[in-house]
Chains A and B, each alone.
Chain A
């Protein structure tokens, strides 16, 4: 996931509210970071639990949870829960309805099954209380919540509950972390382009998940692993970047990999990766160490999308192929993208999540 979402989300969250605007797509993606917004600085140390809360002086921020799950009969599922914050102008909103909205919130929730991809979307303005992130830790939009259940002396994200519901699905999950928070890039300063665009980026990739999915066919008890991403920035993609491919992979060895590639208009990939040992020790890899090669494609929502990938990180002896649980995991929300659970095979086996944006 990439710090360029701001412009796109801003355009989508507001302009695209009426369906007619969908066609606008990525208009305005190349916009410059506004001088009024704060910009991530290398060397600034992240501090918790404070940095779990919003950073309203930055243009864009998210609380992004994905989980690869399975039922007792072996059927695999995927769950996504995301809260985006997008600022029109820097600064917190005055409570109530004062008429100078600064923050706009957007929620995406989805359940992926082998033959269905159910999703929904919520939007809200800041200040009125319809959405936000507050202490004791709770992130919410409408009745979709991510709430801390951790003891007072632990990190609030060590244990959380997660709920969302749409017209055709709902879920209620409990997540418990079995490892520490992981900082990407240089202690959480994650570079996105050769020109220096960057974000603050950390994860909690060690969740054990259990709970209930409610689907049109009934309730299903599930267990699995979850991965939370936290990221904030003000800098959009550089002008020659078209979209990104992002992977969160959990291997049977207990090791994990976060990797992304930003697709440049000349066909190249700007890549970045974090290898996470089973004990949470992280190793950051800069541009070029991770190799992403698109494989088989599928027709999804009227476009051709590479749903299979070869992921290589020679420094860690990794050479795997990913295949989607459901190639049609398209988030047809106002800001649309592909997001779904994947299976990993090759030098390592396991499960994970894949996000792909910018495929027009």
Chain B
């Protein structure tokens, strides 16, 4: 009996191959996008862990000396047992662009980007350690430096762009240096070493920005995960519609099988097993596809993370069985979710009820009302969460309720819109088109919901990324207002910088700070000069009147947004910056990317409290066109190490390049999500095309040509897509607002202002029309080729 039942059930799929393909495609796509994003995230996390485990060079302490470290000092420390490794760093010009030379000792260096390019090739290692040496560079750098007069290059994709990693001796020759720039101190040292100061007089420095990589990169991964989840949801819409249709069409078979004595339990088991097998098959295909997507996107992601956060992520993907298992698991769970309703209906199907095939998913007015009610409830929940919710979970729940509510609200809203448009219709065909459109909405609703979600995600994420970009670049302009930033290694060099700067530049403004606990967290207070550099440019978010006068006089301090929001401060609240020294907070400025609290006050006031802090950093104002020249002169006259002078325009250019790379990744995911929604529309239309013949046959009989009918079908689908797009705008903007104003603040402590990008929306309307147009093209073409006999048969079968 079981075998017969199984054959009967499966025969459905033999007769409806397209439906089977739809189901499998939906599942595979959902799995692919979800698992692809997961693979990227996992790879990134593995890289962070690796970096943390292998003494990432950025977080290692450094030993420095004003005039550089000597080779003898290095050897003396090694011979005393200290695990230190020498570095020579500097800049040269190659092929017209600056090239950062990072000279290391591969034998003592902590694990480091680029060196893997040497792996397993003895000749190459010999070359690296010999004259003329070898430069390890990223592919784009190799193209840039071209055939400049330099040692041979070897491609190492994990080296940061614009940098060449090479041997210590090669770097020394290229940079014409005698001394080492600094020594890296391994974080773990042998037992019982003598104190450093007994061996060599060197300053030990811990890098200032000891930023937690994972904290910074979380926002990026959050974006990716949200995308993956959305795509998965969109894919499940396809799956649910396919399962729903298949079950509806098999009602007769179910009834017959049950009447023949198949127990309900066994029928349910068979149906569940059938779905599970489909889920497994599609899941495996989806995993392969997801792996492909991840492999294709990963280099871009790696570039973004490296440029934006300095996080080194391998550009290649490792296969992880746990990832595959999780991917299959989520496919099974998703299938269960999508099939639950259909299974439940089968379970409750009365055995003797007439097995009349209902038009699939032709929702009654009651269903519509229920949907509208659910939508209102969800949207209200979302709104309430915006006001009272706290924490990341609440913010995400708010997002979920918003998206689900919007999706549920779509069918009633579309029907309402078509109803309102009715007076606009001219002639019977126009009226029929609108009425037919209304009648189609329930059947197409799932696919349209998918389209809505995809469009909303596009609007929302596009707005967020765009806002981030606009704000960040504006902020960079404000924060990096000076043309050059100079760091002197000691007081003598600082004096030389001031002297040379007075002569070369328009102004030299000192920047100095002290490390202070601010409201219980380690932070820093900057002493700033009363200079237009700050008054005209500083990114103030909120301030009391005469903020700069008060800061200059030392009677008020301004704080960064992280400190302000993190401790629920108000303007005017007192801030303690030294034992017995409190001043009111008079302003807040934005300070993106810095997790630590920070405050600023007039330089004089601060130096009265902290008289002994050396002032080694300066902002140098000069004609932007002259900046490079002035930088070179400053380096030379003040005898500064190469990294001592930073050109603002280089920093900005790098940041912007990084952002473009970020857009590449989000852009690609946007297109993919939209593509999945397009497929959802296509599959719905395809399954509908057979069911809709009874509606179309009378029109044909009235004399309308199939070609006209097809054109009307396309027009109707595009109309629905356009309406969906219109509804997606408010949803997407709400999504962006929650992301910017809630999730960001909860996750990172700063709030980004929201910018609108109408041009993007127009483009998206085009994309929605294109997706819908392409999706209905095939069904429309099939319609024009329909033999008249099929249409006639509708009347013959008319009940």
> Which positions in A face B, CB cutoff 8 Å?
7, 10-11, 13-21, 24, 27-28, 31, 88-89, 96-101, 104, 120, 123-125, 128-130, 140, 142-143, 165-170, 214
A99 contacts B118, C-beta separation under 8 Å? no
B63 to chain A, nearest CB (A): 16
A14 contacts B54, C-beta separation under 8 Å? no
* A99-B79 in contact given A88-B126, A169-B191 (Cβ < 8 Å): no
Contacts of B106 in A (CB 8 A): 14, 17-18
A14 contacts B192, C-beta separation under 8 Å? no
Measured in the bound complex, the distance between the Cα atoms of B128 and A100 in whole Å is 9
A20 contacts B107, C-beta separation under 8 Å? no
Measured in the bound complex, the distance between the Cα atoms of B133 and A97 in whole Å is 13
Say whether B713 faces chain A, with CB atoms less than 8 Å apart: no
Say whether B108 faces chain A, with CB atoms less than 8 Å apart: yes
In this complex, what residue of B is CB-closest to A16? B119
A98 contacts B169, C-beta separation under 8 Å? yes
A214 contacts B107, C-beta separation under 8 Å? no
Measured in the bound complex, the distance between the Cα atoms of B126 and A142 in whole Å is 22
B78 contacts A130, C-beta separation under 8 Å? yes
B168 contacts A97, C-beta separation under 8 Å? yes
Contacts of B78 in A (CB 8 A): 124, 130, 142-143
B191 contacts A168, C-beta separation under 8 Å? yes
Q: In the complex, which of the residues B119, B122, B129, B167 contacts A18, with contact meaning CB atoms closer than 8 Å? A: B119
B101 to chain A, nearest CB (A): 14
Per-position contact with A for B164-196: 1 when CB-CB < 8 Å, else 0? Answer: 000111101100000000000000111110000
A129 contacts B75, C-beta separation under 8 Å? yes
A100 contacts B130, C-beta separation under 8 Å? yes
Contacts of B81 in A (CB 8 A): 142-143, 165
B112 contacts A101, C-beta separation under 8 Å? no
Say whether B121 faces chain A, with CB atoms less than 8 Å apart: yes
Q: In the complex, which of the residues B54, B79, B118 contacts A15, with contact meaning CB atoms closer than 8 Å? A: B118
Measured in the bound complex, the distance between the Cα atoms of B118 and A1 in whole Å is 28
Measured in the bound complex, the distance between the Cα atoms of B79 and A124 in whole Å is 11
Say whether B131 faces chain A, with CB atoms less than 8 Å apart: yes
Q: In the complex, which of the residues B75, B133, B189, B191 contacts A128, with contact meaning CB atoms closer than 8 Å? A: B75
17 additional A-B residue pairs with CB within 8 Å, beyond A17-B115, A124-B108, A166-B191: A10-B125, A14-B107, A15-B120, A18-B116, A20-B119, A21-B116, A31-B122, A97-B169, A98-B131, A99-B172, A100-B131, A101-B129, A101-B130, A104-B129, A120-B190, A123-B107, A165-B190
Say whether B584 faces chain A, with CB atoms less than 8 Å apart: no
* A128-B130 in contact given A18-B116, A99-B172 (Cβ < 8 Å): no
B172 contacts A10, C-beta separation under 8 Å? no
A172 to chain B, nearest CB (A): 11
In this complex, what residue of B is CB-closest to A99? B169
Measured in the bound complex, the distance between the Cα atoms of B521 and A275 in whole Å is 70
Contacts of A128 in B (CB 8 A): 71, 74-75
Per-position contact with A for B59-81: 1 when CB-CB < 8 Å, else 0? Answer: 00000000000011011001111
Centre residue among A20, A21, A88, A104 by max chain B CB count within 10 A = A20
Say whether B400 faces chain A, with CB atoms less than 8 Å apart: no
Contacts of B169 in A (CB 8 A): 97-101
B80 contacts A14, C-beta separation under 8 Å? no
Q: In the complex, which of the residues B118, B131, B172 contacts A14, with contact meaning CB atoms closer than 8 Å? A: B118
Contacts of A130 in B (CB 8 A): 74-75, 78-79, 108
In this complex, what residue of B is CB-closest to A216? B191
Say whether B694 faces chain A, with CB atoms less than 8 Å apart: no
B71 to chain A, nearest CB (A): 6
Contacts of B173 in A (CB 8 A): 99
Measured in the bound complex, the distance between the Cα atoms of B722 and A53 in whole Å is 86
In this complex, what residue of B is CB-closest to A18? B115
Q: In the complex, which of the residues A28, A96, A124 contacts B122, with contact meaning CB atoms closer than 8 Å? A: A28
Say whether B109 faces chain A, with CB atoms less than 8 Å apart: yes
Measured in the bound complex, the distance between the Cα atoms of B509 and A303 in whole Å is 63
| 4 A-B pairs closest in CB distance | A99-B169, A143-B81, A123-B107, A14-B125
Near A by CB (< 8 A), chain B positions 99-150 give 105-109, 111-112, 115-116, 118-122, 125-126, 128-131, 133
Measured in the bound complex, the distance between the Cα atoms of B125 and A96 in whole Å is 20
In this complex, what residue of A is CB-closest to B133? A99
Contacts of A18 in B (CB 8 A): 106, 111-112, 115-116, 118-119
Measured in the bound complex, the distance between the Cα atoms of B54 and A143 in whole Å is 23
Contacts of A120 in B (CB 8 A): 190
Measured in the bound complex, the distance between the Cα atoms of B75 and A307 in whole Å is 40
Measured in the bound complex, the distance between the Cα atoms of B189 and A101 in whole Å is 27
B131 contacts A99, C-beta separation under 8 Å? yes
Measured in the bound complex, the distance between the Cα atoms of B119 and A18 in whole Å is 8
* A27-B191 in contact given A14-B107, A17-B106, A88-B130 (Cβ < 8 Å): no
* A20-B116 in contact given A15-B125, A123-B108, A167-B190 (Cβ < 8 Å): yes
Measured in the bound complex, the distance between the Cα atoms of B108 and A101 in whole Å is 15
Contacts of B121 in A (CB 8 A): 15
B120 contacts A24, C-beta separation under 8 Å? yes
Contacts of A14 in B (CB 8 A): 106-107, 118, 122, 125-126, 128-129
B170 contacts A167, C-beta separation under 8 Å? no
Q: List 19 A-B contacts (CB under 8 A).
A: A10-B122, A13-B107, A14-B107, A15-B119, A15-B125, A17-B107, A18-B115, A88-B129, A97-B169, A98-B131, A100-B131, A101-B129, A124-B78, A124-B107, A125-B129, A129-B75, A130-B108, A143-B190, A167-B190
Centre residue among A18, A98, A125, A130 by max chain B CB count within 10 A = A18
B232 to chain A, nearest CB (A): 34
A132 to chain B, nearest CB (A): 11
In this complex, what residue of A is CB-closest to B132? A99
Measured in the bound complex, the distance between the Cα atoms of B78 and A72 in whole Å is 34
B777 to chain A, nearest CB (A): 50
Contacts of A11 in B (CB 8 A): 120, 122
Contacts of A101 in B (CB 8 A): 129-130, 169
Measured in the bound complex, the distance between the Cα atoms of B118 and A168 in whole Å is 30
Near A by CB (< 8 A), chain B positions 188-210 give 188-192
Measured in the bound complex, the distance between the Cα atoms of B107 and A88 in whole Å is 14
Centre residue among B107, B112, B130, B169 by max chain A CB count within 10 A = B107
B751 to chain A, nearest CB (A): 41
In this complex, what residue of A is CB-closest to B88? A97
B167 to chain A, nearest CB (A): 7
* A97-B115 in contact given A170-B190, A214-B192 (Cβ < 8 Å): no
Measured in the bound complex, the distance between the Cα atoms of B741 and A49 in whole Å is 78
Measured in the bound complex, the distance between the Cα atoms of B125 and A166 in whole Å is 27
Q: In the complex, which of the residues A13, A96, A140, A166 contacts B190, with contact meaning CB atoms closer than 8 Å? A: A166
Centre residue among B54, B120, B128, B168 by max chain A CB count within 10 A = B120
Contacts of B119 in A (CB 8 A): 15-16, 18, 20-21, 24
In this complex, what residue of A is CB-closest to B125? A14
Q: In the complex, which of the residues A19, A21, A165 contacts B54, with contact meaning CB atoms closer than 8 Å? A: A19
A170 contacts B192, C-beta separation under 8 Å? yes
B625 to chain A, nearest CB (A): 38
